[in-house]
Amino acid sequence: DESSGYESESAGGERAAAAGPGGTRGRQRRARTAFTSEQVCRLEKTFQRQKYLGASERRKLAAALQLSEVQIKTWFQNRRMKLKRQM
């Protein structure tokens, strides 16, 4: 499921097997997203204006950056935590 954030995908787009190198079974975490510098720049600019995004704003930003809404939501959560740690 694209929006669940659990199954991992390799760079080629194929799904990872259910059992990892350690032999554990169950849901896999999605591979870490490598944001482009343009995406990070746009995310940071948006964050400077608005610390929280509503659903419609998140949807528009996700479409503009070609990311999923879950990725946008997670990025903002992580960025708010980073700001909190810095204060």
- Is the domain spanning 37-86 CATH 1.10.10.60? The answer is yes
What is the model's pTM?
A: 0.67
Identify the pLDDT of residue 13.
42
User: In whole angstroms, what is the distance from residue 62 CA to residue 60 CA?
Assistant: 5
Identify the pLDDT of residue 67.
97
Identify the pLDDT of residue 1.
45
Per-residue pLDDT of the chain (87 residues; tens, 9 = 90+): 444 444 334 334 444 444 556 656 788 887 888 999 999 999 999 999 999 999 999 999 999 999 999 999 999 999 999 999 999
User: In whole angstroms, what is the distance from residue 35 CA to residue 57 CA?
Assistant: 19
Identify the pLDDT of residue 23.
57
Beta bridge partners of 15: 9
